[in-house]
Amino acid sequence: MPDRKTPGPEQARARISELHSLLNQYNYQYHALDEPLVPDAEYDRLFRELLDLERLYPELIIADSPSLRVGAGPLNTFSEVEHKVPMLSLANAFTDTDMQGFDRRVRERLEVDGVEFAAETKLDGLAISLLYEKGLLVRAATRGDGYKGEEVTANARTIKSIPHHLAGKDYPTTVEIRGEIIMERHAFDQMNKQQLQQGGKLFVNPRNAAAGSLRQLDPTITAQRPLSFIAYGIGYHSDELIYDRHTVIMEKIRSWGLPVSPDLTRVQGLSGCERFYQQIGKRRASLPYDIDGVVFKVDRMDYQRQLGFVSRAPRWAIAWKFPPEEETTRVVAIDVQVGRTGALTPVARLEPVFVGGVTVTNATLHNEDEIRRKDLRVGDTVIIRRAGDVIPEVVSVLMEKRPADSVPFIMPTFCPDCGSAVAKSEDEAVTRCTGGLFCPSQCIQAIWHFASRRAMDIEGLGDKLVEQLFRNGHVRNVADLYELTLEQLSGLERMADKSASNLLNALEQSKTTELHRFLYALGIREVGESTARTLSTHFGTLDRLMHASVEQLLDVPDVGPVVANNIHAFFAEAHNRDIIDRLQKNGVNWPQPDMNRPRPLDGKTFVLTGSLATLSRDEASDKLTALGARVSNSVSKKTDYVVVGDAPGSKAEKAEKLGVAILDEAALLKLLE
């Protein structure tokens, strides 16, 4: 991680926890809701930071780290589909050096001097799998989290470029075609013109339009949208499908009546990859659809099988991303926003600038240290990098255009919202308001977090409504939510009786939850979803957790001194205990565990690798931890068992070398019984 000294273990643990929360939220907004919160460049930066920290401290990698999974889980408005072969993501290359490293690793693992790659454009759309049985389209599903997606068969059948029956006769009995749902630029522009004429909602970009169109509950709406499909490979297939090269099977897919990239070609070695990358880069603006890079795959299938997978991506493929589009504009102001944990985040207000099809007016500046590093000031002309979203990244300052009277930015010494003093600890870059629940911004953010989908999942309670409820005095803390009345809600701006009744029903439904979701909803600092789940499993009941000492908290796997002290301090606060008591009196509940239930796997460490046919990784982890086991991501001499599913990674090989016991899925299920 450039420009930073190497963090200590506890700093790393705290930052990894923060990155988990951010990346999980951004994944969910981008993949499940089609409402991205940050540019791709910012997500990639955070993701690379997480990878760097996990390389430094592999013992801090946990089973549900964003680095080990793809995307986000499906919405409950569609039926769930489990992929027989996981739909993995691709590793990214951002520089020549990254690409050279990929080529070198491939050659070294294969022990060859050169490799042929299949090369094609990286489409900016929504990944989908199409399952054909005896040539008939029987199911279509989104990628979801890579292991489970949403069934969208009725919608996919409305897309003209997806055949209902494969052409020819040489297709397998069962074959799953994978590809991308896109909307071409001219079709996107025409659709937005029609939306404007009809007074409808304008779409931000073709990718969001394609994703939103495919995931309509009413297939007749999807049928009206100009969607296209382009195949990029095969997932599950019956045994009779035999091929020796990726480019050969892509031509076979084309012969079955499915479109493939017209730019698909075979290139020789690194030099061939570099030439293809440059050629596509020059043609990028003239292509009929949006792309954000090119994809290279080792062409020989026996080489692919030999290279295998890491937990998140194949070793035999990489996406070489294009530099994000950039523009210049001027900083007209730097405001400071207050978040749920009191973090003060500077935000640059910009002269409106059109970057990559989107007009942007602000950019997050992260923290005071980031501003100092870039020496950013009000009045500066800056380079803005667009990375596929409304919120851009400030890349650098054009010093030659700096006004003579500019002054350095100074972080306020008092909270801009509540006037409380601010503080900055030595071990983190973030400045925080000390006002706590006295601070309106922190209260509003805490209430919104409590209601969010991954927490209490109170449908219809968005950030704007939370702010309105707070400003009107109806809700001052999360317990007040369950004391709202129909009269209070229907009196709010843009809130009719039906909307008010729907919200009351959603509040009632949210009362029945799970302990780990409730703990996450409380917003205890550094306690993300994973830690909340671990705490729930370890202590079993809320009462035991609330009365745990710091020493007892330190006995919990993956809980260090910082997190332990945060948890202990939270439950020591009388105000927090009062709110929890009110929530339970208002009916918030969760299943109580059988404390006499045996925990036969206490002290045992498990590692999962590959995909399981009957359980997702999360389900397997939950069942193991419920029996007292610890689920780790890295194999060591201390590992007791490695559970191996389909397409396992290098962990299985490492387990064999270390003499660690290996279980297949049948053995795992028997153990869980």
Interior/surface letters 243-281, b for 16+ CB within 10 angstroms, e for the rest? eebbbebbebbbebbbebbeebeebeebebbbebbeebe
Interior/surface letters 535-561, b for 16+ CB within 10 angstroms, e for the rest? bbbbbbebeebbebeeebbeebebbbe
Q: How many whole angstroms separate alpha carbon 366 and alpha carbon 364?
A: 6
Q: How many whole angstroms separate alpha carbon 489 and alpha carbon 473?
A: 12
Contact between 429 and 369 (Cβ < 8 Å)? yes
* Cα 403 to Cα 368, 378, 394, distances in angstroms: 21, 9, 18
* Cα 465 to Cα 46, 409, 493, 503, 657, distances in angstroms: 30, 33, 9, 11, 57
Q: How far apart are the first and last CA of the chain?
A: 45
Tokens describing residue 574: 């009388």
Q: How many whole angstroms separate alpha carbon 450 and alpha carbon 85?
A: 35
> Strand order of the sheet with strand 317-321?
91-93, 317-321, 291-298, 116-123, 265-268
Contact between 456 and 521 (Cβ < 8 Å)? yes
Place of tokens 């309670």: 461
Q: Does residue 464 carry a catalytic annotation? A: no
- For residue 155, give the nearest of 223, 206, 230, 209 by alpha carbon: 223
Q: How many whole angstroms separate alpha carbon 442 and alpha carbon 338?
A: 7
Tokens describing residue 281: 């880069």
Contact between 611 and 646 (Cβ < 8 Å)? yes
Contact between 610 and 616 (Cβ < 8 Å)? no
* Beta-bridge partner residues of 363: 348
* Cα 320 to Cα 184, 213, 230, 282, 385, distances in angstroms: 22, 28, 19, 15, 18
- 3-class SS of residue 113: coil
Exactly one of 122, 148, 297, 651 is catalytic; which is it?
A: 122
Q: How many whole angstroms separate alpha carbon 88 and alpha carbon 309?
A: 9
Tokens describing residue 183: 């909307």
* HEC string for 229-265: EEEEEEEEECCCCCCCEHHHHHHHHHHCCCCECCCCE
- For residue 609, give the nearest of 630, 633, 582 by alpha carbon: 633
Q: At 91, which amino acid appears?
A: A
Contact between 380 and 405 (Cβ < 8 Å)? no
Q: Give me the count of residues in the chain.
A: 673
* Cα 68 to Cα 311, 634, 651, distances in angstroms: 6, 11, 13
Long-range contacts of 513-518 (CB under 8 A, 24+ apart): 513/456, 513/457, 513/588, 513/589, 513/590, 514/590, 514/591, 515/541, 515/542, 515/590, 515/591, 517/454, 517/455, 517/456, 517/457, 517/590, 518/456, 518/542, 518/588, 518/590
Place of tokens 């001097």: 113
Residues 6+ apart with CB under 8 A from 494: none
Backbone angles phi, psi at 221, to 5 degrees: -70, -45
Catalytic residue numbers read 122
